[in-house]
Structures are given as C-alpha cells and as structure tokens.
Amino acid sequence: MSGFSVAGLAFVRDVLARHVASGAVPGAVALLARGGSVDVFAVGDVGRDTIFRIASMTKPVTAVAAMICVEECLLRLDDPVDDLLPELAGRRVLVRADGPLSETVRAERAITARDLLTFTFGLGLVFGSCPIASALEALAQGMPRPFLVPAPDEWMRRIGALPLMYQPGSRWLYNTGSDVLGVLIARASGQPFETFLAERIFSPLGMSDTGFSVPAASLGRLPAQLSTDFSTGETVVFDPPGGQWSAPPAFPSGAGGLVSTVDDYAAFAGMLRGGGVFGGSRILSRAAVSLMTADQLVPSVKAVSGLLPGQFDSAGWGFGVSVVTRRTEVGRSVGSYGWDGGLGTSWFNDPAEDLTAILMTQRAWTSATPGPVFRDFWTTASAALAD
C-alpha cells in the first residue's frame, strides 16, 4: 500500500510543473517517502539522478557526524573545545556586535561542542555592513564558495583571530558553527572531515553521489547553478558544471559544501526517521537522534535571535536542524525537523506522519524567506498523505 493518495501525488507533480512552466525554477526533483512507499517526481531539465549543490542541507550531516563522535566519547557536549581547538581558547567578545574589532571584553566561559551544534558559540552570519561582517565574508560565511576558502588549519587560525560577536550561549547565530564543527570532528577523530563522512555516513547508507566535489565522470549530471543578479534582476550562472565543485576543495565546509542526489539524501533522512538506522546500517542511537531533533534553544536566546524577525515564534533549533514547535501551516506537524539549502533545496522529516519530503532545484533562493515553490511543496506533500 502507498502512504500517499494517487490524486495527492498527481497534484504534487502538477504544482511543481506549474512552477517550472512559470520560469520560477528550470527544473525540480521531489521525493516523498512514507513507510515503505517512495515516490519521486522530476520535472523540467533535471532527472532523478541529477546531482545538486545542497548548501546548508550539509549542516544536518555535520551534526550527525558530531553526534557519532559524542557517542564514541571522542567529544563531550558540555566540555570546552579548547584542547582540540586551541584557536578558540581565551576568547574575546565585542563590546558591540557592529563595533570596532579592537573593542572587546573577555568571554564569560569557554566554548563547548553543544554551543557549536546549537549555533550559540558567539559567532555567525550577520547581515549589514560592519567590521565583523566583512571579516566573516572574507572567510566565505555566506554563499558557498569552495575555491576561496583556505585549508582547515589556516581557516581556524583566521577564525581564532576574530573576536566573538556575543557571549557564548547567549544568541543563535547562523552558519559558522557547522564549519567549526567540521574541523573539530576531524581533529577528534584523527581523520580528514571528508574521510570521516565518507566512512561513517555515506558508505554505510549507500550515498555514492554525496561528497564535497563531483568526479569528472559524473559532471554531466551536475547542472549549472543559477542565481539572481540583484542589481539587474537577471538570472545568472553562479557556478558552471566544471566550476567550484569539480575538484576537492581545500576546506570541506560542514556548513554548506556538499553535493548530493534526492535518493542519497533520502537515505540520510530515512536513517534519522528510523531512529538512527537505515537499510540495516545503524549510524546513531535512537537517543542521539531524539536529542539532535529536539528544540535546544531557551526562550531568552530565541527572543534575540533569528535570520528573520519571528523565526523562532513557531520553530526552534536542535543540532543542525530546525524544529517545528507550533503548527502555523498545512505542511509540517509539530515535531517536524529538517533544513533548507540556499542554493535551491529543502528537506524535512515529519515523525507524526512518518514522512520524509525532499525538494531539489538548481535555482538559488533570493532571500532568507523560502520562495513559493518550496512553500507549495511543503503544503502539497502533507496534503498528499493517505488516511
């Protein structure tokens, strides 16, 4: 038996086709999985085996890798990371987040792995013009740019030379925590980050098309990455097939560096939906998945945080994933978790409905607010459920 209605699945495809026909996206691949049923739709100029730059959908993968290290006692959530990341020891904190980098006070406590996982370690993506924003932009804390980032040790040296924006644990700040986690995982495990992911997550789950670059033989399945030139409104090529993801990067970004396919990512999502197990491979314990996918932010942090105003009115943050805390739309029950990729992808698991939903396109978002194609997909995915 299918976990979806025939009419509901047809409507999902029709809505995606409508967005492709309108020119909103040149192509889209969607996957819905429920119980033992998996349905995939490919419309426009992409196919089921198309490889996408999944950007921030890398963050949940990095969080799983960190939880593997926690379960193997290579890391402890609430211990300082100073021994493994001496660059972050003895931190200074800006007097004002938008102020001069020289005006600082001492950090009130050390940074922990939990701070990195919850994005509360004191440094992260900031919009606007100020000294710390410019410094982070130079370290590719924004749109993924693999060719421009130095190797991990040099990247950490540069991060360590910057003050924190806020005291550890006091505010949720996007993105940078996942990149630091990638370095922490490599040092804790004694393996390059990309090797750890390949051996501990990708290989066991059969994610053969997932990694930080695309082999030459597979570049034909990597479409040009499109974005918008905001000065003209025109669509431009941000990255061609033979561009920044055609060779292994010096810095494997745990925040946004991976490529993947819809089926590969479905295996990862299915592992989490299955309590850490997929296809006979156990990656995490059920307890670790439960912790990772529960809201970890206290009200005082939510009140002063968010990429957009009101982000945490109906959502929280676990370890590398957003968590729905109040139902405000048809799609995604309370307890649903997942995340999006700013280069044009989205994923969520809905445990209450035993549902995985993934949408991949090659058109970058134009703002931190998801575009209509994503909002419509979330709605139709939930509406397609069979009783």
Query: What CATH number is associated with residue 161?
Result: 1.20.58
Question: What pLDDT was estimated at residue 140?
Answer: 77
Q: Are 93 and 165 in contact (CB under 8 A)?
A: yes
Going by C-alpha positions, the residue among 131, 120, 134 that lies closest to residue 304 is 120
Report yes or no on 198 lying in a domain.
Answer: no
Stretches in the chain below the pLDDT threshold 50: 1
Q: Are 227 and 365 in contact (CB under 8 A)?
A: no
User: Are 84 and 133 found together in one domain?
Assistant: yes
User: Are 41 and 167 found together in one domain?
Assistant: no
Enclosing domain of residue 333:
6-58+206-383
Which residues are 38's β-sheet partners?
A: 33
For residues 25 and 213, give the distance between their C-alpha atoms in angstroms, rounded to a whole number. 23
User: Are 182 and 212 found together in one domain?
Assistant: no
Question: What pLDDT was estimated at residue 127?
Answer: 81
Report yes or no on 199 lying in a domain.
Answer: no
Report yes or no on 369 lying in a domain.
Answer: yes
Q: Are 165 and 159 in contact (CB under 8 A)?
A: no
User: Are 226 and 374 found together in one domain?
Assistant: yes
For residues 91 and 106, give the distance between their C-alpha atoms in angstroms, rounded to a whole number. 6
User: Are 245 and 165 found together in one domain?
Assistant: no
For residues 60 and 345, give the distance between their C-alpha atoms in angstroms, rounded to a whole number. 13
Report yes or no on 194 lying in a domain.
Answer: no
Q: Are 346 and 9 in contact (CB under 8 A)?
A: no
pTM, full prediction = 0.97
DSSP reduced 3-state for 359: strand
For residues 344 and 294, give the distance between their C-alpha atoms in angstroms, rounded to a whole number. 25
Report yes or no on 201 lying in a domain.
Answer: no
For residues 302 and 172, give the distance between their C-alpha atoms in angstroms, rounded to a whole number. 7
Predicted confidence (pLDDT) per residue in 44-86, tens digit: 999 999 999 999 999 999 999 999 999 999 999 999 999 999 9
User: 92-94 and 225-229: which strand pairing?
Assistant: unpaired
Q: Are 311 and 119 in contact (CB under 8 A)?
A: no
Which residues are 259's β-sheet partners?
A: 53, 211
What's the domain count of the chain? 2
Question: What pLDDT was estimated at residue 358?
Answer: 98
